Structure 1
Amino acid sequence: MLIFLSAVFFLIVTPGPGVLSTAGVGAAFGFRAGLRYVLGLFIGTNLVALAAISGIAAVVLSVPTVRTVLLILSVAYLAYLAAKIAFAGSKIAFIEARSAPGIKQGLLLQAINPKAYSVNITLFSGFAFASDNLVLEAGLKLIIIAMIWVPIHLGWLYAGVVLHRLDLAEKTQRKINYAMACSMLLVVALAMLSMRGVG
């Protein structure tokens, strides 16, 4: 079980679209908006976990066309979120972010997030510690993952909120928002490269 705990920690703590967008929402829109977004991510990641447990995710992702469509949707949606974070507070009329991403946006991100699928498939298909009772093992894994997932995401949110609360000059805050958005796009590019290697 210790190996499973380590795997969960390192797979979740590494920057992916979920944690980076959480920090970005915190930095751009503050704590309350960030909490709603994290709740959506949490619901979404658990739905992806259920798809991994049931085997649906593995079957669906084994179809190259479906994988490609999910990747395209993921890239487009992450680019949209990155733009929303980058231009938070901006007065550029055609892209001004008037509302923060919320529960629905967090849920949608996890539904098309390649990292969410690969992490959950890895965690639920490997690291057996109660193979004589798969239901118990799956339940314990869900609890363990949540106990690690929640503090990590709240930590990233807090880091973003601290940046938000520093009351930095508008120009500096905009640069931070751009950096957060660029980091998300970099993760997308890495996910695309890794999925091309798998395909």
Structure 2
Amino acid sequence: MQLQCDYRDRMLTFAAAVFFLIITPGPGVLSTAGVGAGFGFRAGTRYVGGLFLGTNLVALAVVSGLATLLLADPRLRTVFFVASFGYLAFLALRIGFAGKRLAFIEAARPPGMLGGIMLQIINPKAYAVNTAMLTGFAFLPSNYALEVGLKFLIMNAIWIPIHFLWLWAGVSLHRLNLSERNQSRINIAMAVTMMAVVVLAAFGPR
């Protein structure tokens, strides 16, 4: 009985860690809200679908050891960081100028499923979070395969509603009867906030 309670407590600790890591503002959830605010629910759902596939691909890379091999080279980590930062800046421009006719950022086209996948695949934070979650917080050390399977289920069970909550928040702003100027200000604020979080994560203390 004591052993079962110990497993349960460790599993709850893991779930709590996943919840707080995902719900706090970061590029994924902020860009989800931004896409919802700038382009509406349908476009946002496609984008969330891409993020979902991307984060699970990263998790599989972590479990298989592929991520460790790829990120062992500092030069490759730098490439990932530059690609991630550049793509997030581009995404922020799309959100910030949604509805404006600026051809160089293709403002009329929202980032779709591929955009969500790309964000996760090149995002170093996605690898760091998945590595921490999947290699730490052990609660079934006697059965690693079962533990990893349960972790995938818990992570996705928390990940999905949280991202749709952020999408709903963005879509709610999109559906308000706001003037074009005010909607534009909201979109720009979303984009600036997203970039601020990225800059703080990139250049803050480690």
Q: Residue 68 of structure 2 corresponds to which residue in structure 1?
A: 58
Q: Residue 106 of structure 1 corresponds to which residue in structure 2?
A: 116
8 Å contact 2:84–2:123 — kept in the other structure?
Answer: yes
Following superposition, which runs of at least 4 residues in structure 1 exceed 2 angstroms of deviation?
A: 91-96
8 Å contact 2:84–2:122 — kept in the other structure?
Answer: yes
Q: Residue 12 of structure 2 corresponds to which residue in structure 1?
A: 2
Q: Residue 147 of structure 2 corresponds to which residue in structure 1?
A: 137
**Could you tell me how far apart the structure 1 residues matched to 2:137 and 2:36 are?**
33
From 36, 42, 52, give the equivalent of 2:46.
36
Structure 1 unaligned runs (5+)?
Answer: none
Q: Residue 187 of structure 1 corresponds to which residue in structure 2?
A: 197
> TM-score scaled by structure 1?
0.95
8 Å contact 1:73–1:112 — kept in the other structure?
Answer: yes
**Could you tell me how far apart the structure 2 residues matched to 1:84 and 1:96 are?**
7
CA drift at 1:5: 0.7
From 130, 152, 169, give the equivalent of 2:162.
152
8 Å contact 2:101–2:108 — kept in the other structure?
Answer: no
Q: Residue 170 of structure 1 corresponds to which residue in structure 2?
A: 180
Please identify, of 96-105 and 41-50, the stretch whose mean Cα deviation from structure 2 is larger.
Answer: 96-105
CA drift at 1:96: 4.6
What's the % identity of the aligned pairs?
60
Q: Residue 89 of structure 1 corresponds to which residue in structure 2?
A: 99
From 97, 119, 134, give the equivalent of 2:129.
119
1:24 maps to 2:34: yes
Please identify, of 29-38 and 91-100, the stretch whose mean Cα deviation from structure 2 is larger.
Answer: 91-100
**Could you tell me how far apart the structure 2 residues matched to 1:31 and 1:189 are?**
28
Tell me which amino acid in the other structure corresponds to 1:55.
G
Q: Residue 7 of structure 2 corresponds to which residue in structure 1?
A: none
8 Å contact 1:58–1:121 — kept in the other structure?
Answer: no
- Number of residue equivalences: 196
8 Å contact 2:100–2:108 — kept in the other structure?
Answer: no
**Could you tell me how far apart the structure 2 residues matched to 1:62 and 1:176 are?**
40
Tell me which amino acid in the other structure corresponds to 1:31.
F
Tell me which amino acid in the other structure corresponds to 2:41.
F
8 Å contact 1:89–1:96 — kept in the other structure?
Answer: no
> TM-score scaled by structure 2?
0.91
8 Å contact 2:47–2:116 — kept in the other structure?
Answer: yes
Deviations 1:61-105 (A, max 9, x none): 232111111000001000110000011001344445121111100
Q: Secondary structure at the match of 2:177?
A: coil
Structure 2 unaligned runs (5+)?
Answer: 1-10
